[in-house]
């Protein structure tokens, strides 16, 4: 913990910036979702994807870290997989657990395809480091395909995650 007058590190300043701007991220996400609501990118049953990005932490917005996800399509609009968060605070923390996604556009308009995916995600798992504890959370997420195998991704909920998604 820093005392009065001590300079904040780059990571502390970046975390504060992200926390202050999370409402802006939500508004931009909602606008983008509304503009492209007729397109989807999730490829359904049998598809797999790996994503990596910067995260604000798990159930806290004052920690920065790295998040990785793997998802596998088990139905036309449902995918399951795993998630790992590496969190950098005063001490190192790691979250590991399963996740499940409900791909909204695939459920609503299954015959249309396009570059945009909107999904609801739920996760639960264990956080190690400091005090080991059970965590659970949920997200509203979106991805936009840049190419047929690469997309940009944003999730807002128990944490904020921005990253890159690779379709395998």
Per the listing, tokens 């990596």 go with 52
Using 50, 70 and 90 to split pLDDT, how confident is the model at 156? Answer: very high
pLDDT at 25 > cutoff 90: no
Residue-wise pLDDT for 67-119, tens only, equals 999 999 999 899 999 999 888 877 788 889 999 999 998 888 876 667 889 99
Global pTM?
Answer: 0.72
3-class DSSP state for residue 156? Answer: strand
pLDDT, residue 148, reads 85
Residue 10, number of CB atoms within 10 A of its CB:
8
Per the listing, tokens 């004052």 go with 62
Q: What is the mean pLDDT of the chain?
A: 80
Helix (H) / strand (E) containing 23? helix 10-35
| Structural tokens at position 38 | 């007729």
CA distance linking residue 166 with residue 68, whole number of Å: 11
CA distance linking residue 45 with residue 101, whole number of Å: 12
DSSP code string of 25-51: HHHHHHHHHHHTTT------TT-EEEE
pLDDT at 37 > cutoff 50: no
CA distance linking residue 64 with residue 54, whole number of Å: 7
CA distance linking residue 120 with residue 66, whole number of Å: 20
DSSP code string of 53-111: EEE--SS-SS-EEEEEEEEEEEETTEEEEEEEEEEESSSEEEEEEEEEEEEHHHHH-TT
pLDDT, residue 35, reads 44
């Amino acid at each position: 913990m820093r005392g009065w007058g001590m300079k904040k590190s780059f990571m502390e300043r970046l975390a504060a910036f992200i926390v202050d701007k999370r409402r802006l991220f939500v508004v931009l996400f909602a606008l983008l979702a509304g503009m492209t609501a007729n397109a989807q990118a999730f490829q359904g049953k049998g598809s797999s994807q790996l994503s990596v990005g910067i995260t604000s932490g798990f159930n806290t917005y004052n920690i920065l870290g790295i998040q990785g996800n793997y998802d596998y399509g088990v139905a036309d609009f449902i995918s399951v997989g795993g998630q790992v968060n590496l969190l950098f605070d005063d001490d190192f923390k790691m979250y590991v657990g399963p996740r499940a996604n409900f791909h909204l556009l695939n459920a609503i308009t299954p015959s249309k395809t396009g570059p945009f995916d909107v999904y609801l995600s739920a996760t639960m798992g264990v956080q190690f480091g400091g005090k080991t504890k059970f965590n659970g959370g949920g997200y509203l997420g979106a991805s936009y395909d840049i190419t047929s195998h690469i997309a940009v991704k944003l999730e807002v909920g128990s944490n904020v995650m921005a990253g890159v998604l690779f379709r395998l």
